[in-house]
Structure 1
């Protein structure tokens, strides 16, 4: 078992795992995002490899800047393969994000979690995240 930074070659596995969240990416749509993450020091993504060196989880974290608050780290996405859950993988990925964020000088880590993802909400509460607020997301096509 190992956690390492994401590589370009991980695009297929990352896309496959994202489908378990209900998204429909392909390796071709994920690859430019991996490139952008690798080129931006304010972003990082990690993958979790099982004993067979298969990717069974990933997480993307970044340093968020807001005019009205101090910088903070935010987990923008995380998935653990449904057959590998409840083995400490999600906890290990979040711990890796916390270490990364601390090394960047930020003192807080946040995650936004859809209220319909009951299991994910329980997971974050279990690992000592506290719900701060409820909000709505508004979208407009450009």
Structure 2
């Protein structure tokens, strides 16, 4: 029996709290709910949680990316397991579940990692992912913030 299920809106607090372990600032409850609802409503995004005894121990966000110059692929937009539950196979199970979804649609699964997260690189390499390119990410802030 799997402990993996689709995320529900009432999971937003737990998902938000786990995001802190990725190094992101915790969002307000309203923002966390809006973000999760947007992904739940999207036909290109899926969020799955690993739940044990009613406690969410990890989550994975996967989205289908479409490009003009290349075939569509799934990409892991985020993966986190609570530190207390790490090294117990939860992250592996979440990624394997995402792999199954990609395989069912006969498309590749990709993931991008921050260059400084060497342990994360090693995790994905142990799972069979290979580095296909390195890149820089550029961003321009256009809002009033």
TM-align CA RMSD: 1.2
Superposed CA offset, 1:88-109 (max 9, x none): 1011001111222233x24200
Residue matched to 2:92: 91
Superposed CA offset, 1:70-91 (max 9, x none): 0000000000111111111011
Residue matched to 1:71: 72
Q: How does 1:31-42 map to 2 (within 5 A)?
A: 31-42=33-44
Separation in structure 2 between the aligned mates of residue 106 and residue 67 of structure 1, nearest angstrom: 18
Structure 2 SS opposite 1:55: strand
Separation in structure 1 between the aligned mates of residue 32 and residue 79 of structure 2, nearest angstrom: 14
Superposed CA offset, 1:19-57 (max 9, x none): 01110122322211211111112110000012x220010
6-15 or 28-37, which deviates more: 28-37
TM-score (normalizing by structure 2): 0.92
Residue 46 of structure 1 contacts residue 58 of structure 1 at CA under 8 Å; is this kept in 2?
yes
Gap regions ≥5 residues in structure 1 = none
Separation in structure 2 between the aligned mates of residue 7 and residue 108 of structure 1, nearest angstrom: 26
Point out 4+ residue stretches in structure 1 off by more than 3 angstroms.
none
Residue matched to 1:115: 115
1:131 has 2:131 as partner? yes
- Figure out how many residues of one structure are paired with residues of the other and give that number: 140
Gap regions ≥5 residues in structure 2 = none
Separation in structure 2 between the aligned mates of residue 88 and residue 43 of structure 1, nearest angstrom: 23
Separation in structure 2 between the aligned mates of residue 68 and residue 135 of structure 1, nearest angstrom: 17
80-89 or 23-32, which deviates more: 23-32
118-127 or 27-36, which deviates more: 27-36
